[in-house]
Amino acid sequence: MGRGAGTAIKGAVMLKIAPQALEQLLAGKHLAMVSGTNGKTTTTHFLAAAVRAGLDPGGTRVVHNADGANLHGGITAALSDNRSATWAIIETDERVVADMIRLGHPEVLVLLNFSRDQLDRHHEIKALGRSWRNALEAAGERGPVVVANADEPLVVWAAQTAREVVWVDTATTWTQDASLCPQCGALLLHDQPDETGGQGGGWRCSGCELAQPAASYRVVDGRIVDPDGKSFDPELQVPGAFNISNAACAMAAAAQLGVPSATAIAGMRTVTAPAGRFATTRFGDTTARLLLAKNPAGWAEALPLAQSDVVVLAIDSAAADGRDVSWLWDVEYEQLAGRTVVATGPRAQDLAVRLAYAEVACRCVPDLAEALDGHPEPVDVIATYTPFQRLRKMGGV
């Protein structure tokens, strides 16, 4: 019908015909999972590339849901594409983590972060954190080794019940979703970096013992330091400090699967545009780079990457974006002042109002094709999920 790749509907049909298909396809595989609000697609690509580099030079023994279809249907469809695979590297939606732990008995589970996202679908993030915590507790000694972001209080709390945790200090700077302790509800205290620009002392609860744990893997000044003290310059082909953090988590997970750090980072350097993120393509005579941002934390990372004189911002509120667009008011669009900004997508008017309050002049052009037409210089496009997928299709990415 030409409406998409067909991955999700393929898996949905399979599960309708054979409700046990997901569990059966997972049986006998070495399973590694990646979940979190932001970065899970890129991190899964990093981990799959690391495993291929270290364990599967022929590229036939690894199955990976590379297109980012991360619900039950998408995962089932991806697994069915290579039923004989030894290694399954699976991006997993936050809501599906508990089911995948129960059905697939993963060896490794990477937990990246929690941020307010699609509140009409996910509700408050502590509910998701509690589901992870309960699933890990129920798994007991059969549960996975968890690679967890030590900078994220809710991730730390959720991972406490795991049989083993490898902590990663990702040098995260976003703290707006970590104000209250998930354990006791008291205020969290966040130490500031010192005057030399070094790392701060992390976070701690003002009312109980919950605090940032010491990490085995660390991101320091844009480099990744492994447990042996070896420092690696990632030299990734995807931009942003957040992707160095993602690579650190992937390196830690790859080590649990038997891939040395140097081999893992070499594999990760082959990742260029995971599921269209950071891809550069053409729309008629316009050259555009595509950036995905789904929530305030994602926008905080994406906006500094937009360096073009003209910046196109695409917004929608379909189910995959989240119906509620009030999160626009938590994004610091003020940093775009003085640039040429085009607001596009079905909710372009809402964005235009937010930009007006930020004192950022913009043109409101709801049609995506029209918004991308006629730019003689390359432009950066930052989009929420649904317009991002439309732009991928329009640009042949």
Q: What is the CATH number of the domain that holds 381?
A: 3.90.190.20
Convert the pLDDT of each residue in 290-311 to its tens digit.
Answer: 999 988 989 999 999 999 999 9
What is the Cα–Cα distance from 64 to 283, expressed in whole angstroms?
A: 29
What is the Cα–Cα distance from 244 to 174, expressed in whole angstroms?
A: 15
Same domain, 221 and 335: no
Residue 1: inside a domain, yes or no?
A: no
- Pairing type for strands 231-232 and 340-344 reads unpaired
- The percent of residues above 70 in pLDDT, for the chain, comes to 95
Report whether 362 belongs to an annotated binding site.
no
Among residues 211, 239, 274, the one where a domain terminates is: 274
What is the Cα–Cα distance from 381 to 310, expressed in whole angstroms?
A: 9
Same domain, 165 and 68: yes
Same domain, 104 and 191: yes
Q: What domain range includes position 322?
A: 279-395
Domain count, the chain: 2
Beta carbons within 10 angstroms of residue 138's beta carbon: 13
Same domain, 63 and 198: yes
Same domain, 263 and 313: no
Report whether 364 belongs to an annotated binding site.
no
**Known catalytic membership, residue 324:** yes
One-letter identity of residue 396: G
Same domain, 30 and 168: yes
Taking a C-beta distance cutoff of 8 angstroms, is the pair 303, 336 a contact? yes
Axis-axis angle for helices 241-256, 40-55 (nearest 10):
40
Residue 2: inside a domain, yes or no?
A: no
Give the pLDDT confidence score for residue 122 in this predicted structure.
52
Residue 124: inside a domain, yes or no?
A: yes
Same domain, 305 and 254: no
What is the Cα–Cα distance from 172 to 152, expressed in whole angstroms?
A: 8
Give the pLDDT confidence score for residue 197 in this predicted structure.
39
- The b/e string for 328-346 (b: 16+ C-beta within 10 A; e otherwise) is beebebeebeebebbbbbb
Same domain, 260 and 320: no
What is the Cα–Cα distance from 129 to 394, expressed in whole angstroms?
A: 36
Residues of the chain with pLDDT under 70: 4, 117-123, 192-201
Give the pLDDT confidence score for residue 53 in this predicted structure.
96
Give the pLDDT confidence score for residue 58 in this predicted structure.
80
**324, 330, 373, 380: the active-site residue:** 324
Same domain, 157 and 262: yes
DSSP conformation class of 380: E
- The percent of residues above 90 in pLDDT, for the chain, comes to 83
Average per-residue pLDDT for the chain = 92
Same domain, 152 and 235: yes
